[in-house]
Structure 1
Amino acid sequence: MTETLDAVERTALLTAALRAAESSRQDRLYDDPYAARLAGDAGPELLAEIREATFPKNAARTLPSTPDYNAIRTRFFDDFLQQAAQDPDMHQIVLAPAGMDSRAYRLAWPSDIRYFEVDRPAVLAYKEERLRGVPPRVDHHSVAVDLTSPDWENKLVAAGYDPGLPSTWLLEGLLYYIPGDDAHRIIERVAAITKPGSRIAADIVNEAALTLPNMRGLLDVFAGWGCPWLFGSDNPEALFDEHGFTVEAAQPGDPAAAYDRWPDPVPDRAETGVRRVFFVHGSKN
């Protein structure tokens, strides 16, 4: 079924392959028993291209370590979602987009949580086929709709989401693949459908990461696949504040997002001309 996925949708198979590889490590940061079946045959092929670019045979690594980054990102957001779910006032979690994520199947959730996965129809159809026979461990709802469509909010509500109750949102692996106007619009639309006190998390790169010469090896791979990186922000706190969220932004390797796995220096926020990625997390005002 991978032939039904477009270029951006296929990046979810790369994420699944990265999670499968992490799960095979003795020092793994999490265990995803479904990642390999979600990755299929295409995911490892995509991962092989990333590894070739990131870890050249006859040269020093200049690109960020995608396997370590992905492991830290997954664990960081695992912890964020699990902590949010323990809040007695929190009953709704939304992954938008859901991609090949299996948190609904591999993590334990309180019985009062409603868990929504929003993604394009082709992605959710592929995922359903791959996970056939595997029961979710939560009250699970799939919402097959593109986040750029004019009516995804209506479909989410029709699936059981209640805008009048607090919710927790994860925008993982999304913002750098879409133009800046669309990124702002999605955050604005999420704000409009969430109650004050709701939580949000996302990953985002800085602007320099889109243009630095020493990022070209990685950027060229994604562009060659037909899914170039399009958007970054040097001040993600201000980006989300503009739409009514108060957030913090951790970099991989910061104390809150290290897990003894980040192999590179962590640049001070005042330093310019360096690549960055941020794990944004906070709540609606």
Structure 2
Amino acid sequence: MTDLLNPVERTALLTAALRAAETRRDDRLYSDPYAADLAGESGPGLLEEVRTATFPPGRSRTLPSTPDYNAIRTRFFDDHLQECAAPAEMTQIVLAPAGMDSRAYRMDWPDHVRYFEVDRPAVLAHKAERLGDARPRVRHRTVAADLTGRDWEFMLRDAGYDPSLPSTWLLEGLLYYVPEADAHRILERVADLMAPGSRIVADLVNAAALTLPHMHDLLEVFAGWGCPWLFGSDEPEALFARHGFEVVAAQPGEPGADFGRWPDPVPPRTVADVRRVFFVHGTRS
């Protein structure tokens, strides 16, 4: 089944391998008992390539620590999704794309929540095979669709999603893999499906992260896999505001996005030519 995944889809196996590695740590920020099975045999190999680029033998690390970043990102999004889901009026959670995410299976959710996972057919098929008899802890639907393709909105509605009701959307590990025009189209289409007051959570790199010389080794890994990073923004608040969202952007290492794990300084946003990652969260205006 892994052979049916294209290069971008295979990055979900890397994320699962990172989560499996985090789960084995004594100081883990979360526990994902499904991650190792979801990563399969390919995920650890992808992770080893990233580790070799990040922690080169014989010289200092100059790249961001992917294991620490992924641990912080997962915990940050875990906490925000649980916070968003708590009010009784928040009845819909949408993961787009879902990848090898197991939050529907490893976390408890309020009874009023309906939980939708959107991703390409090959990803959802691989995931279902690897999960086997596992059952979600929430009313759960999958939507086999490409977010850059046509008509996925209708498929989501057919699965029971109601655009007139409040919803929370997580766009995790998506925007930097698509061209800028596609990033804008995705945000526009998502916004059109969200009632005012709905919530959004996402991650994004800045433009410099795509070009800085010291990022070369990591970018080469992803480009070599056939899934280069294509889009970044230095003004995430303005990017999301353009599509009707009021958001805040936090960087790993800042208060609320650290959890005692980010190993590097966080330069002020006014400092140019610095690689940055943003955790974006806010509401539909």
Normalised TM-score (structure 2):
1.00
| Deviation (angstroms), 1:112 | 1.1
| Whole-Å separation in 2 of the counterparts to 1:16 and 1:249 | 25
Which residue in 2 is equivalent to 1:114? 114
What is the RMSD computed on CA atoms of the aligned residues?
Answer: 0.4
| Whole-Å separation in 1 of the counterparts to 2:51 and 2:193 | 39
Which residue in 1 is equivalent to 2:102? 102
Cα deviation code 1:47-78 (max 9, x no counterpart) = 00000000011100000000000000000000
| Whole-Å separation in 2 of the counterparts to 1:179 and 1:67 | 25
Code of the residue aligned with 2:255 in structure 1: it is P
Which residue in 2 is equivalent to 1:36? 36
| Whole-Å separation in 1 of the counterparts to 2:150 and 2:220 | 31
Which residue in 2 is equivalent to 1:139? 139
| Deviation (angstroms), 1:132 | 1.2
| Whole-Å separation in 2 of the counterparts to 1:153 and 1:219 | 32
How many residue pairs align between the two structures?
Answer: 285
| Deviation (angstroms), 1:150 | 1.4
Which residue in 2 is equivalent to 1:161? 161
Unaligned 5+ segments in structure 1 are none
| Whole-Å separation in 1 of the counterparts to 2:159 and 2:24 | 35
SS class of match (2:36): helix
Which residue in 2 is equivalent to 1:197? 197
SS class of match (1:133): coil
CA contact (8 A) 2:88 2:112 kept: no
Code of the residue aligned with 1:222 in structure 2: it is F
SS class of match (2:183): helix
SS class of match (1:111): coil
| Whole-Å separation in 2 of the counterparts to 1:252 and 1:87 | 27
| Deviation (angstroms), 1:171 | 0.2
| Whole-Å separation in 2 of the counterparts to 1:124 and 1:42 | 16
Which residue in 2 is equivalent to 1:125? 125
Cα deviation code 1:201-248 (max 9, x no counterpart) = 100000000000000010000000000000000000000000000000
SS class of match (1:115): strand
Matched-pair identity in %:
71
SS class of match (1:257): coil
Cα deviation code 1:66-116 (max 9, x no counterpart) = 000000000000001000110121000000000000000000000110000
Code of the residue aligned with 1:65 in structure 2: it is S
| Whole-Å separation in 2 of the counterparts to 1:86 and 1:192 | 23
| Deviation (angstroms), 1:155 | 0.1
| Whole-Å separation in 2 of the counterparts to 1:138 and 1:60 | 45
| Deviation (angstroms), 1:148 | 1.0
**Equivalences for 1:164-183 in 2 at 5 Å?**
164-183=164-183
Which residue in 2 is equivalent to 1:47? 47
Which residue in 1 is equivalent to 2:223? 223
**Equivalences for 1:59-70 in 2 at 5 Å?**
59-70=59-70
Unaligned 5+ segments in structure 2 are none
